[in-house]
Amino acid sequence: MLLLNLRGSQGPLYRRIYQQLKSAIHAGRLGAAARLPSTRKLAEDLGVSRNSVILAYEQLAAEGYVVSRPRSTTSVVAASPGRSPAPAAGRVEERPRLSAYASRLVESLAAFGSDSADDRRPGLKWDFRYGKPSLDEFPRTIWRRLLAARARRGAPESLGYLSPAGYAPLRQALCDYLRRARGLSCEAEQIVIVSGTQQAIDLIGRVLLDPGDAVLVEEPHYLGAILPFTAAGARLVRVNVDRHGLETTKLPPRRAGVRLAYVTPCHQFPSGVIMPLERRVALLDWAARAGAWIVEDDYVSEFRYEGSPLEALQALDRRGRVIYIGTLSKILFPALRLAYLVLPRPLVRPFVSAKWAADRFTATLPQEAMADFIGSGQFERYLRRAAARNAIRRRTLIEALRRHFGERVEIAGENTGVHLVVWLNGMAPDDIPALIARAAAAGVGLYPMTPYYATPLRRAGLLFGYASLSEAEIRAGIRRLAEIAGVRAAA
């Protein structure tokens, strides 16, 4: 008699019978060619309906564990899977053989002290993390309405395959916006929609770099760019950033063989400085001489608090050397996962091919809704409101820091973006981890500057994001930080 124990297991009854029989086959209790009881007999023994047993047998037959013949018994297949070894306690699984790309990526993440998982820190009442927008202020009702309208009236082709380059009306809407707001010189055909800035940078590395190629990066740098380039096997050439941006007098000569340069000219990350016109022109001239591409990451440049947004580097490009990256996820909400590339014409086809190979195309419905969001004027209205709120929060953060810390801090960054760099005078860099730990215990989220530098810092610094916090929360968070640091408000 076949003994099955269905107690303690969960799920539909037929699945529990199926799992028990499969386990018996794997364990060798039912060997090759062993006959199973008839469905009627096993149903009687288990006290269940015959249909449950029939379904279990059919599932086993479909997966090749048993064979049933008309008007005959059901038996285990002749080539039985046999006994599966029991997992040993504490057994270390064999290390997989990874590609060179994956190995470099894993090693880089470990070296930079980062990982690819969600890195939210629960329990923080005042979280000054960079990159967190104010989600409660996004016009979610309007966004839901646009999504619902598109879902209701969606044409049949909306449910099929889309061009890897993206939804054509969104590309046109972005083209019109970029010409108007950022001064770009482009056509809709030069725009490729991607699933976030990170995919844009990864595609750049895959399309333009071979192992050993040299890539120029800013120092301090954006980790999200360093990792894909390192994984692609690139050799990093670091050029310092001073208070006027990338030091173009230190650009490497042509013989250095730099393939591309990754820059953030309108708001350098993380320092926040803006590259002046003469350095932009010098960078473009260097790229033309060196035969290098310039990757312009124009993240959150829409948020400028004195005057109009600055003209993009791409707008000055007359030789077709600039690859422009823009993001919708960073300025609206992270889960949107929409960004875009504006490419020189010779690069459009290679990038569309790479996008096809990566994930075929970006999800259609959000692209359709975004095209409507931009076309209706809601996008730019939201940007104006968000910029006004962020300006107030930035001012509140600066005032709170000066009130509580006075000369103990040095605040860096221009009137743009959604973060500030704060250098702590009189504190050693080695003291920062302990301060961050004490602050976290008190509900304040702080983030160090060390990950953005290739060499050890000589100063203690923190990166403060402020877009997700109200003015009251900013004041309370800085006041709590001052209490932790043991300082009194400046007179």
Q: What is the pLDDT of residues 89-113, one digit of tens each?
A: 556 667 788 888 888 888 877 766 5
Domain coverage including residue 422: 385-485
Looking at the predicted structure, is the pLDDT value of residue 290 above 90?
Answer: yes
- What is the per-residue pLDDT for 119? 56
Digit-coded pLDDT (tens) for 154-165:
777 778 889 999
Q: Residue 72: which CATH number?
A: 1.10.10.10
> Do 211 and 251 fall within a single domain?
yes
Residue 120, in any domain of the structure: no
CA-based R_g, the chain, Å: 29
User: What's the gap between Cα 372 and its chain centre?
Assistant: 24
pLDDT exceeds 80 at position 87: no
> Looking at residue 116, what is its pLDDT?
46
pLDDT for 490: 56
pLDDT class for 134, splitting at 50, 70, 90?
confident
Q: Are 366 and 333 in contact (CB under 8 A)?
A: no
Residue with tokens 């750049």: 204
Q: Quick: pLDDT tens for 296-339.
A: 999 988 888 776 667 899 999 999 999 999 999 999 999 999 99
> Residue 80: pLDDT band by 50, 70, 90 thresholds?
low
3-state SS assignment for residue 448: strand
pLDDT reported for residue 132:
84
Tell me how far apart the alpha carbons of residues 387 and 385 are, in angstroms, rounded to a whole number: 5
Same domain, 302 and 352: yes
- 248 and 390 in one domain? no
Residues 452 and 475 in one domain: yes
356 and 274, same structural domain? yes
- CA dist 479 → 46, 438, 440, 448, 489 (Å): 67, 14, 14, 19, 8
39: Cα within 13 Å, side-chain hemisphere: 17
* Higher pLDDT among residues 23 and 191, named by residue: 191
Average pLDDT over residues 116-129: 75
The pTM (predicted TM-score) of the whole model is 0.85
State the Cα–Cα distance between residues 436 and 484, nearest whole angstrom: 10
CA distance 173 to 186: 12
Q: Is residue 225 over pLDDT 90?
A: yes
Q: Mean pLDDT check: name the lowest of 61-75, 139-153, 342-356.
A: 61-75
Residues 208 and 258 in one domain: yes
The reply to whether 196 and 52 lie within a common domain is: no
Q: Is the peptide bond before 87 cis (omega within 30 degrees of 0)?
A: no
**So what's the pLDDT on residue 115?**
46
- Using an 8 Å Cβ cutoff, are 364 and 336 in contact? no
What's the mean pLDDT in 105-125?
67
Question: Which range is least confidently modeled, 3-17, 242-256, 269-283?
Answer: 3-17
Residue 327 falls in which region: left (phi positive, over 0), alpha (psi -120 to 50) or beta: beta
Mean pLDDT, all residues of the chain? 90
Q: Quick one: pLDDT at residue 1? A: 61
Q: Encode pLDDT of 358-415 as tens digits.
A: 999 999 999 999 999 999 999 999 999 999 999 999 999 999 999 999 999 999 977 7
Query: CATH number for the domain including 411?
Result: 3.90.1150.10
In a domain, 1, yes or no: no
Place of tokens 């005032």: 399
Q: Any idea what the CATH number is for the domain that residue 183 is in?
A: 3.40.640.10
Q: Do 260 and 192 share a structural domain?
A: yes
Q: Does residue 209 contact residue 350 with C-beta atoms inside 8 Å?
A: no
Asked if residues 304 and 415 have their Cβ atoms less than 8 Å apart, the reply is yes
Q: Which of 4-13, 326-335, 427-436 has the lowest mean pLDDT?
A: 4-13
Structural domains in the chain (count): 3
Domain-terminating residue out of 380, 399, 430:
380
Boundary of a domain, candidates 380, 406, 435? 380
pLDDT greater than 80 at residue 121: no
Q: What angle do CA 103, 104, 109 make, to 5 degrees?
A: 100
pLDDT at 114 over 60: no
